[in-house]
Structure 1
Amino acid sequence: MQQLKDQRFLVLGGSSGIGLATARAAAGAGAAVTVASRSRHKLDAALAAIGGTARAVVLDTTDNGAVERFFADESPWDHVAISAAETARGPVRGLGLDAARAAMESKFWGAYQVARAARIGPGGSLTFVSGYMSERPLATAVLQGAINAALEGLARGLALELAPVRVNTVSPGLIETPLWSRMAEADRAAMFANAAERLPARRVGRPEDVANAVLFLAATPFATGSTLRLDGGAAIA
């Protein structure tokens, strides 16, 4: 994607999973990549995986003061992608309110605070990562669906407010990321195999699939206010 060559590309949550895949893809397209997350250890490992001239910044998107200071000290960005989030899972009546509020703080308010503070050049892009449960909720993960829907609504409104900066969302389905490493290997393999059988794509997603979608939106000047669903056909299966 020649449109990204030498452009400043920030990936928040870029130390693992979807964020790391996005950073690697952007670096491969010639962008000047910066990755940010809360963990210096993970960032060091990410830099080794990305290679080139990528740089890393320790930043917690739930800390609004830190977010504002970071963007105030940086030159305007060409592209910002946000995949940073930690969200507890469970039914509304089974999930503690503290855990629920922390999930909203991490995925929604973290992105909101970045959107308020980020300086992005005209024609540049801001991309959120939501999730297909915004359209197809699960009884055991109601909060995740609500947060994802809120993110997508935020992006559509920001596409109007921040124009000519372009604001979009990628909405992935089941993606094989380190998030699932807490499961036993056999259980995880069985879950992915069962899901693949039900999906029209006949496989689960990979972080690189989502990264391709983020870069497509960043590099397409006519894309704004859009939600790109990337779920292997889950919403129609």
Structure 2
Amino acid sequence: MSSLNYLRVLVVGGSSGIGFAVAEAAVAAGAHVTIASRSQDKLVAAAQQLGPGTETAVLDTADEAALETFFASRDAFDHVVVSAAQTPTGPLRKLALNDAKSAMESKFWGAYRVARTARIAERGSLTFISGFLSERPSASSVLQGAINAALEALARGLALEFSPVRVNTVSPGLIDTPLWSKMADDAKAAMFSRVSENLPAKTIGKPEHIANAVLFLMTTPFATGSNVRVDGGGAIA
């Protein structure tokens, strides 16, 4: 694993799932990690798992004033990762318009606000988590594909605007995270089995697989404006 010794890493959405895996990998690589989310309880539990030295911040990406205050009160981060999002899903004509707006507000505009307010060290990096539906649309999740595509386009543009800060995205496929915890165990196992059989990789993604890609982008000075798809081959299946 590449070293992040003494570098300052912020993971927005770092209290669970993919964000937590990124924070865990960054800690293992020697970084000083700050995890941020809306839940103080989740942050405390995550920080205990990550170990001494992990900082926490209660932060809502919908609150621009709070974001500005947060970044103004801290030194620039070397690397910022945005994994936080709540995105209701469903077919376009069945998903309530307010829910659709909420999904765009959370995943796209939340990342946009972080990008707008974040203080990132020169030649540092900003990484968004998008999703493979940007390239492999689903008839039941059209909005998610559109949001992911918008996020990836935002990153490419910001890679030019923010240069020499590097801006990239990681695009996961189906990942076994707490997002699926509301499903019954047998239903979840059946879904994962069915999906994995149809993937070229013949396995379901884990949060640490996405964390590997994020750390690659953090530690590769020649990577900017890039989208790294980690989907088990879902986009080509």
Question: Fold-level match, TM-score > 0.5?
Answer: yes
Q: Deviations over 1:117-142 (max 9, x none)?
A: 00101110000000000001111111
**Counterpart Cα distance in 1 of 2:141 and 2:236:** 19
Contact 1:7 1:32 in 2 (8 A): yes
**Counterpart Cα distance in 2 of 1:91 and 1:68:** 35
**Counterpart Cα distance in 1 of 2:106 and 2:161:** 23
Look up the match of 1:131: 131
SS of residue matched to 1:111: helix
Partner AA of 2:141 in structure 1:
A
Look up the match of 2:206: 206
Look up the match of 2:17: 17
The question of 1:228 aligning with 2:220 is answered no
**Counterpart Cα distance in 2 of 1:52 and 1:201:** 36
**Counterpart Cα distance in 2 of 1:10 and 1:51:** 15
Unaligned runs of 5+ in 1: none
Q: Deviations over 1:162-187 (max 9, x none)?
A: 00000000000000000001111100
Contact 1:2 1:30 in 2 (8 A): no
Partner AA of 2:235 in structure 1:
A
Q: How does 1:157-176 map to 2 (within 5 A)?
A: 157-176=157-176
SS of residue matched to 1:90: coil
Contact 1:171 1:230 in 2 (8 A): yes
SS of residue matched to 2:181: helix
Look up the match of 1:60: 60
**Counterpart Cα distance in 2 of 1:12 and 1:142:** 25
Q: Deviations over 1:42-97 (max 9, x none)?
A: 00110011113111100001111111111111100100000000000101111111
Identity over the aligned pairs, expressed in percent? Answer: 64
Look up the match of 1:76: 76
**Counterpart Cα distance in 2 of 1:149 and 1:199:** 22
Partner AA of 2:172 in structure 1:
P
SS of residue matched to 1:4: coil
Contact 1:61 1:67 in 2 (8 A): yes
- RMSD between aligned residues: 0.7
SS of residue matched to 2:71: helix
Partner AA of 2:144 in structure 1:
Q
The question of 1:148 aligning with 2:155 is answered no
Unaligned runs of 5+ in 2: none
TM-score, normalised to structure 1, is 0.99
**Counterpart Cα distance in 2 of 1:16 and 1:70:** 21
Contact 1:27 1:52 in 2 (8 A): no
TM-score, normalised to structure 2, is 0.99
Aligned length: 237
Partner AA of 1:68 in structure 2:
E
